[in-house]
């Protein structure tokens, strides 16, 4: 264990800091969940890509910088420390990207990864269906072969980014009559393909952050399938692992929020409940603990290890930390918590953040599912309904 950064790492940090200082938009962007804000964020993705900062861990061939995971953490620390915008392309770069890297053919890698890192194609996920949320193996939407195409029929829901994004990825039933985890394939599709209807769904905050997708005889080339036909479940599980594990939520974001919470507490200290004081310290402690753990996991992966079911512990921890931190802020704000814009005219980021944090324990596999995975796979308790 060596708790100091190398000179090379410090130089890299300085380089990131300098670029961000010159490029981060001075005023916060509109939320990426509304159309105008979405386009502002796409602009930011392209600006990042122009500096080759779109996806720093990817190989240079695909527009990355080939950096290691510790350097990625340093990048993220600087990114969130500088108050840079949320990543509108996170589904692509953090979930689908690593999945293509692992399961894609060379042709697929070239075709999908380069435009992704460049911010040219923004991706939506299409996992859930009306009857298949936490029970994703209940997927019914079909993609049956017709020559060198799949013909897709059915419906997806809660598809993040799908109101405005360019492409989507999801699981489809490619074997007629197949059940549960079998007969599913992982397919990528252009959201403008004829036969796809998007119905934006207004989320808690009032913006159409996700959409329902209706597929009516949608023809998608077989080349858009990732890995073998019928192997979709294991590919999707790998994607879910990326989602719960390392990449989706780097600690920097929570550490930046914890710092803002400390500042908020200092402003409201006189009127704060005694319990708020401890909750604020707890936010800092937990954000730090999450960072240490992430550094350790990154080093483990760099040494050839893998993240297994412990990704579930991670997901429970950061999602509940995020909610607790924002709840504390709401309580510190008191009456002002209800205002959508604060006295200085700025967006009430705590209110927006609180609403968003409520989705954390639901998406990426609900925390109830994560607790079952933890109990069964890490602790060895009997499976639900094992009798």
Q: Hey, which residues between 88 and 117 contact other proteins (CB under 8 A)?
A: none
> In this chain, which stretch among 92-100, 202-210, 211-219, 306-314 interacts with other proteins, using CB under 8 A?
306-314
**Least separation in angstroms between CB 87 and other proteins:** 15
Contact call for residue 371 and other proteins (CB under 8 A): yes
Contact call for residue 284 and other proteins (CB under 8 A): yes
DSSP 97-115: HHHHHHH--HHHIIIIIHH
| Closer to other proteins by Cβ: residue 281 or 337 | 281
Whether 340 and 348 have beta carbons less than 8 Å apart is answered as yes
Contact call for residue 295 and other proteins (CB under 8 A): yes
**Least separation in angstroms between CB 306 and other proteins:** 14
Does residue 349 carry a catalytic annotation? no
# residues near other proteins by CB under 8 A: 66
What is the DSSP code (8-state) at residue 137?
G
| Closer to other proteins by Cβ: residue 180 or 371 | 371
**Least separation in angstroms between CB 263 and other proteins:** 10
**Least separation in angstroms between CB 226 and other proteins:** 31
DSSP 46-77: HHHHHTT-S-TTS-GGGT-----HHHHHHHHH
Q: Which of 36, 243, 278, 376 is catalytic?
A: 243
Helix axis angle, 310-333 relative to 349-357, nearest 10°?
A: 140
Interatomic CA distance for residues 376 and 355, integer angstroms: 31
Tokens found for residue 350:
């705590």
Contacting other proteins (CB under 8 A), which of 106, 194, 345, 382? Answer: 382
Contacting other proteins (CB under 8 A), which of 49, 117, 280, 329? Answer: 280
**Least separation in angstroms between CB 70 and other proteins:** 6
Contact call for residue 5 and other proteins (CB under 8 A): yes
Whether 50 and 35 have beta carbons less than 8 Å apart is answered as no
Contact call for residue 135 and other proteins (CB under 8 A): no
Interatomic CA distance for residues 227 and 99, integer angstroms: 10
**Least separation in angstroms between CB 79 and other proteins:** 8
Contact call for residue 383 and other proteins (CB under 8 A): yes
Contacting other proteins (CB under 8 A), which of 115, 170, 251, 353? Answer: 251
| Closer to other proteins by Cβ: residue 160 or 255 | 255
Contact call for residue 304 and other proteins (CB under 8 A): no
Distances (CA, A) of 207 to 35, 182, 272, 292, 356: 9, 36, 32, 35, 12
> In this chain, which stretch among 149-157, 183-191, 312-320, 337-345 interacts with other proteins, using CB under 8 A?
312-320
What is the DSSP code (8-state) at residue 85?
P
Helix axis angle, 274-302 relative to 310-333, nearest 10°?
A: 150
Contact call for residue 3 and other proteins (CB under 8 A): yes
Whether 136 and 127 have beta carbons less than 8 Å apart is answered as yes
**Least separation in angstroms between CB 300 and other proteins:** 6
Nearest Cα to Cα of residue 97 among 133, 72, 128:
72
Interatomic CA distance for residues 60 and 307, integer angstroms: 25
Phi, psi of 362 (to 5 degrees): -100, -50
Interatomic CA distance for residues 118 and 43, integer angstroms: 11
Contact call for residue 267 and other proteins (CB under 8 A): no
Nearest Cα to Cα of residue 352 among 206, 239, 202:
206
Q: Hey, which residues between 32 and 51 contact other proteins (CB under 8 A)?
A: none
| Closer to other proteins by Cβ: residue 70 or 222 | 70
Listed in sequence order, the residues at least 6 apart from 263 whose beta carbon sits closer than 8 Å to its beta carbon are none
**Least separation in angstroms between CB 286 and other proteins:** 7
Whether 300 and 337 have beta carbons less than 8 Å apart is answered as no
Contact call for residue 310 and other proteins (CB under 8 A): yes
Interatomic CA distance for residues 15 and 35, integer angstroms: 33
Q: Where do contacts with other proteins occur on this chain (CB under 8 A)?
A: 1-6, 9, 13, 17, 70, 76-78, 80-81, 251-253, 255-256, 258-259, 262, 265-266, 277-278, 280-281, 284-286, 288-293, 295-296, 298-300, 303, 310, 313-314, 316-317, 368, 370-372, 374-376, 378-387
Active site residues: 243
């Amino acid at each position: 264990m060596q708790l100091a950064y190398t000179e090379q790492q410090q130089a890299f940090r300085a380089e990131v800091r300098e670029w961000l200082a010159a490029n981060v938009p001075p005023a916060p962007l509109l939320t990426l969940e509304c159309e105008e804000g979405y386009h502002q964020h796409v602009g930011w993705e392209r600006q990042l890509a122009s500096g080759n900062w779109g996806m720093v861990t990817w190989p240079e061939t695909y527009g990355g910088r080939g950096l290691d995971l510790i350097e990625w953490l340093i990048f993220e620390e600087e990114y969130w420390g500088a108050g840079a915008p949320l990543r509108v392309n996170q589904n692509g770069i953090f979930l689908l990207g690593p999945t293509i890297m692992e399961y894609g053919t060379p042709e697929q890698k070239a075709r999908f990864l380069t435009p992704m890192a460049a911010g040219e194609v923004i991706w939506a996920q299409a996992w859930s269906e009306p009857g298949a949320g936490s029970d994703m193996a209940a997927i019914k939407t079909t993609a049956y072969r017709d020559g060198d195409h799949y013909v897709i029929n059915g419906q997806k829901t809660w598809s993040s980014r799908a109101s405005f994004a360019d492409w989507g990825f999801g699981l489809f039933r490619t074997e007629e009559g197949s059940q549960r985890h079998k007969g599913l394939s992982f397919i990528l599709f252009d959201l403008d393909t004829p036969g796809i209807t998007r119905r934006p769904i207004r989320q808690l905050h009032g913006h159409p952050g996700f959409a329902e997708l209706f597929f009516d005889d949608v023809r998608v080339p077989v080349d858009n399938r990732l890995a073998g036909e019928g192997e979709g479940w294991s590919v999707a599980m790998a994607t879910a692992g990326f989602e719960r594990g390392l990449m989706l939520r780097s600690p920097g974001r929570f550490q930046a929020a914890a710092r803002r919470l400390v500042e908020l507490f200092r402003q409201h200290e006189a009127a704060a409940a005694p319990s708020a004081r401890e909750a604020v310290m707890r936010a800092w402690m937990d954000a730090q603990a999450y960072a240490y753990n992430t550094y350790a996991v990154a080093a483990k992966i760099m040494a050839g290890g893998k993240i297994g079911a412990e990704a579930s512990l991670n997901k429970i921890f950061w999602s509940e930390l995020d909610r607790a931190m924002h709840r504390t802020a709401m309580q510190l704000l008191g009456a002002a918590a209800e205002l959508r814009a604060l006295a200085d005219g700025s967006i009430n980021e705590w209110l927006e953040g609180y609403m968003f944090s409520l989705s954390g324990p639901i998406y990426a596999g609900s925390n109830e599912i994560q607790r079952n995975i933890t109990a069964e796979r890490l602790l060895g308790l009997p499976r639900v309904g094992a009798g």
